[in-house]
Amino acid sequence: MDLWYKGGVGLLWSILWFIFIYETPAAHPRISPEERREIEEAIGTTTSKQRPSYVPWVSIFTAPCVWAIIVTHGCSVFGYFTVVNQLPTYMKNILHFDIKENGLLSSLPYFGKYVMAVVASYLADYLRQKGTLTTGQARKAFTAFAVIIPGLLMILQIFYGMDRTFAVIIFTLQLLFNGAVTAGYLGNGLDIAPNFSGTIFGMANTLSSLGGFLSAYMVGTLTKVDKSYGQWQIVFGVLAVTYIFGGLFYVIFGSGELQKWNTPPEKNQRSADAEEALPLQKNNINVK
pLDDT in tens, 224-240: 888 899 999 999 999 99
Predicted pLDDT at 277: 47
Q: How confident is the model at residue 249 (pLDDT cuts 50, 70, 90)?
A: very high
Q: Please compute the mean of the pLDDT values over residues 164-187 and round it to a whole number.
A: 90
Mean pLDDT, rounded, of the chain:
84
d(CA 100, CA 88): 11
DSSP 264: P
Predicted pLDDT at 209: 85
Predicted pLDDT at 281: 46
Q: Please compute the mean of the pLDDT values over residues 194-217 and round it to a whole number.
A: 89
In a domain, 276, yes or no: no
Helix and strand numbers (H, E) in the chain are 13, 0
d(CA 35, CA 38): 5
In a domain, 198, yes or no: yes
Contact by Cβ (8 Å): 264, 54: yes
In a domain, 64, yes or no: no
Predicted pLDDT at 145: 95
What is the domain-level CATH number for residue 140? Answer: 1.20.1250.20
Q: Please compute the mean of the pLDDT values over residues 183-208 and round it to a whole number.
A: 91
What pTM, to 2 d.p., does this model score? Answer: 0.79
Predicted pLDDT at 203: 93
Number of domains in the chain: 1
Q: Please compute the mean of the pLDDT values over residues 263-270 and round it to a whole number.
A: 72
Predicted pLDDT at 287: 44
In a domain, 6, yes or no: no
Domain that holds residue 102: 71-256
Q: How confident is the model at residue 62 (pLDDT cuts 50, 70, 90)?
A: very high
> In the predicted model, is pLDDT for residue 105 greater than 70?
no
In a domain, 100, yes or no: yes
Reported as a single tens digit per residue, the pLDDT across 117-168 is 999 999 999 999 899 999 999 999 999 999 999 999 999 999 998 888 898 8
d(CA 127, CA 141): 11
DSSP 1: -
d(CA 238, CA 46): 39
Contacts of residue 56, defined as CB under 8 A and 6 or more positions apart, other chains included, come to 196, 261, 264
DSSP 186: G
Task: Name the most confidently modeled range: 31-35, 251-255, 280-284.
Answer: 251-255
In a domain, 215, yes or no: yes
In a domain, 147, yes or no: yes
d(CA 169, CA 163): 10
Reported as a single tens digit per residue, the pLDDT across 13-60 is 899 988 888 877 888 888 888 888 877 776 654 455 567 788 899 999
Q: Please compute the mean of the pLDDT values over residues 107-126 and round it to a whole number.
A: 87
Could you give the C-alpha distances from 105 to 101, 236, 242, in angstroms and in order? Answer: 6, 19, 25
Q: Please compute the mean of the pLDDT values over residues 265-280 and round it to a whole number.
A: 55
- Coil, strand or helix: which one is 33? helix
Q: How many CA atoms lie within 13 A of 269 on its CB side?
A: 7
> In the predicted model, is pLDDT for residue 103 greater than 90?
no
Could you give the C-alpha distances from 254 to 100, 151, 266, in angstroms and in order? Answer: 43, 19, 27
In a domain, 131, yes or no: yes
